[in-house]
Structure 1
Amino acid sequence: MPPRIVYLATADARGHLMRAQLLTHALRAAGAQVQVLTTSDEGARFLAGFGIDAPVLSRHYAVQFDAQQNMLRRETDRNVAHYMFHPGRMLRDVWRLRAWFRHADLVVNDSFHPALLLMGWLPFWRRKVVHVYGASLRQALETNFKGRMPLAVAKVFGGIVAWQIDRSKARIAHDFAYGEPAHDGHGGHRLATPVAIVDAVDHGDAGRRVAAVYLNPHFKDAALADGLEQGLADAGLPAHLVGEGYAQRVHWHARDERWIEAAAHSAFIVSAPGMAALSIASVYRKPILLLLTDQPEQAMNAGRATQLGLAHRVVVWRGDAQKFARAVSVASGELLALPSSPSDASEGRQAAVERLRPWTALMLRLAASG
């Protein structure tokens, strides 16, 4: 019987969904049966664009953001608390997930859905749960209340979360800059963030003179988009603009299933510093303009990009469209001046293949041992 895998991908950010569709197609090609679940109707529509039917588990759980992708901590805490303690929410989802568990060899939690955190902690189900998460996301979760509650309380919270995570069958921490796969011998694994494999055709100078912009659905502020468009125009650079929050704007696309291919052959990438965007920049050796907001995980990622010497510039939205446009224009000029090589696309394609292979092998091995 082929391995049976259930993959729950939270829809808070599209990086989780991109990883889910990428791994699902790779695992199915290797002979596994994979059922994907997600947490919003928008997430289900996103996955449908990649040929994946994903039922929505629950519409009640979500991290909360404002229109500039700044994380709303109080609103998020309130939403998570309501989800966890309302009898018709998390317990209902646990009840629904029981049926999926019954027929699964492995259940993937990408990333930290509370129902699977609980089930990955309980002895009845934990032998099937693997948590998949960006290394910076786990740190952000465990330190969520640091500076907002008494230190002792914050430490207790972080300890409980860590205990829940570590009780599961396995954990896969990923990062855009990880090298060779590694494991600790106790169910903990480290892998480089997987990236879609694109063709290695060189599009010439015309292709490289386009900025590939992706802003996740939390970005909705019109003035921010005005400033970004103006800054890129002032730098003399056409842009391929993708963002669900700006779907009604002229020249913007809500979704583009081939955006990563555009990014791999662009002059540079423009995105918030999520793990997926940084991985694309790293693998395909593209400079990246990071739009930094108040989101702890992504702030850590931006810091790591600096430490590791990834070719990038950072711009911060502070509410002034003209100042933002000038900052974008200056940063764009600096990124355009960086040297590039015609071999970057082909070498990046091979690097993407090498990143994906250990993910598929590990998932199949974990499913077989279940």
Structure 2
Amino acid sequence: MTPHIIYVATADARGHLMRAQLLVHALRKAGAQVEVLTTSDAGRRFLASFGIDAPILSQHYAVQFDERQNMLRGATNRNVAHYVFRPTRMLRDIGRLQLVARNADLLVNDSFHPALLFMGMLPGWRRKILHVYGASLKTALLGNFDGVLPRVLGRAFARIVAWQIDAARSCIEHDFAYEARDAADTLRFQLPTPVALAAPPSAERTYDAAVYLNPHFRDASLADALRAGLDDAGLSSHCVGEGYTDRAGWQGVDPDWASCAAQARLIVSAPGMAALAIAQVYRRPIMLVLTDQPEQASNAERARHLGLLHRVVTWRGDAGDFRRQVADASYELAHADAHADAAHACGAVCRQRAQARVDAWIERLLALCATGARTNRTGPA
């Protein structure tokens, strides 16, 4: 039988969507039937640029950010509360998901959509649902109310969410530096963050700096100071960011950005799991634009412990200061000769490493589909 998967990719940033499009194309190539749902009009347009049609589940659930990608905790918590407790929102989405996925072998939750967290506790559905999440994102979610609510309430929230995650029979926790390994029960996995297979080097795609800022970056002065700092360091740049499509030198979406990053002298991005995975697999130095987003701060600290060649720059509201930070960090990274030599020699080996990451995910997803198909035949558990 053809494996049938429903893949729900939240559109809070773009890491979930990038991972979704990468895995969906690979799954379809392997013979699976995959339907994708997302959570915003912008997310749907983003996936369409990669050739994937993704209807919107609903737009009621979303993490809230300011124009510099700082997470707005109060606004996010209010949004989630309205989503969970208003009957026309989460309950409606659960009803739609049950209808859409009634014959599916696997229902993927990428990442932590409340409707799927709840469904993962229900008999029958819990065997179909796979939670996919970054290790740092889970830590940030469980600690969401630390220092905000009284300690006992914060701990209660963490226990409830952990219980919801663990109730589903399967999950994949990923990290840019993980090696593929399975837990003892074989349905809980730790996998390296998947990475796009870069195209062979091309002179037309050669830039000193490959820049990607997700759509929550909308502050024009930050974008201008970033490009000016790269110019000061004497570096050409390829800048991608949906929040800056109206600014000279920027484009909204580039489906082949990973290929550009793989042969650039350095990568510039917020410390998301996908960007760090590209830097690690293709041995590129990376400049991290750090903001108040808990899981990304954790990612940056992990990069430091692992010795990944990087520098951190922070926007403090002063364009001149940020420009100097960018110029100093980018010049240092771009002239790290020993690392540049290693990257130059990477070539086919790096692409093989990227392909191995995707293959590890596809192997496990198809195996979980087989488990789900057996459950459909034998009834709910």
Same fold (TM over 0.5): yes
Deviations along 1:51-89, one digit per CA (max 9) or x if unpaired, are 111000011110000000000000000000011111111
Deviation at 1:207, TM superposition (A): 6.1
Determine helix, strand or coil for the equivalent of 2:312.
strand
Q: Which amino acid aligns with 2:306?
A: L
Q: Which amino acid aligns with 1:115?
A: A
The equivalent of 1:255 in structure 2 is 253
Q: Distance in 2 between matches of 1:361 and 1:182?
A: 12
Q: Which amino acid aligns with 2:4?
A: R
Of 269, 272, 275, 2:273 maps to 275
The answer to whether structure 1 residue 172 and structure 2 residue 146 are counterparts is no
Determine helix, strand or coil for the equivalent of 2:317.
coil
The answer to whether structure 1 residue 368 and structure 2 residue 366 are counterparts is no
Pairwise mapping of residues 181-220 of structure 1 onto structure 2 (< 5 A)?
181-185=181-185, 187-201=187-201, 203=203, 209-220=207-218
The answer to whether structure 1 residue 137 and structure 2 residue 137 are counterparts is yes
Q: Distance in 1 between matches of 2:270 and 2:334?
A: 19
Q: Distance in 2 between matches of 1:251 and 1:353?
A: 31
Q: Which amino acid aligns with 1:367?
A: C
Deviation at 1:200, TM superposition (A): 3.3
The equivalent of 2:286 in structure 1 is 288
Deviations along 1:268-305, one digit per CA (max 9) or x if unpaired, are 00000000000000001000000000000000000000
8 Å contact kept, 2:207–2:238: no
8 Å contact kept, 2:207–2:260: no
8 Å contact kept, 1:265–1:345: no
Q: Distance in 2 between matches of 1:181 and 1:145?
A: 31
8 Å contact kept, 1:15–1:276: yes
Q: Distance in 2 between matches of 1:54 and 1:209?
A: 32
Q: Which amino acid aligns with 1:292?
A: L
Mark the runs of 5 or more structure 2 residues left unpaired by the alignment.
Answer: 373-381
Deviation at 1:154, TM superposition (A): 0.7
Q: Distance in 1 between matches of 2:25 and 2:186?
A: 28
8 Å contact kept, 2:180–2:360: no
Q: Distance in 2 between matches of 1:202 and 1:27?
A: 28
Deviation at 1:186, TM superposition (A): 5.9
Q: Distance in 2 between matches of 1:179 and 1:57?
A: 33
Deviation at 1:179, TM superposition (A): 1.6
The equivalent of 2:335 in structure 1 is 337
More deviation, 61-70/224-233 = 224-233
The answer to whether structure 1 residue 309 and structure 2 residue 311 are counterparts is no
Q: Which amino acid aligns with 2:331?
A: G
Corresponding residue pairs, total: 368
Deviation at 1:124, TM superposition (A): 3.4
Pairwise mapping of residues 215-254 of structure 1 onto structure 2 (< 5 A)?
215-254=213-252
8 Å contact kept, 1:228–1:324: yes
Q: Please provide the CA RMSD for this pair.
A: 1.2
Q: Distance in 2 between matches of 1:55 and 1:173?
A: 26
8 Å contact kept, 2:140–2:294: yes
Deviations along 1:192-241, one digit per CA (max 9) or x if unpaired, are 000011123365xx966521000000000011112101100100111101
Deviations along 1:6-42, one digit per CA (max 9) or x if unpaired, are 0000000111001001100111111100000000011
The equivalent of 1:79 in structure 2 is 79
The equivalent of 1:156 in structure 2 is 156
Deviations along 1:293-325, one digit per CA (max 9) or x if unpaired, are 000000000000000000100000000000000
Q: Distance in 2 between matches of 1:181 and 1:265?
A: 29
8 Å contact kept, 1:202–1:345: no
Q: Distance in 1 between matches of 2:334 and 2:212?
A: 18
Determine helix, strand or coil for the equivalent of 1:177.
coil
Deviation at 1:129, TM superposition (A): 0.1
Q: Distance in 2 between matches of 1:89 and 1:100?
A: 17
Q: Distance in 2 between matches of 1:43 and 1:86?
A: 24
Cα separation, partners in 2 of 1:186 and 1:122, compared to 1, 3 Å? farther
Determine helix, strand or coil for the equivalent of 2:101.
helix
8 Å contact kept, 2:206–2:260: no
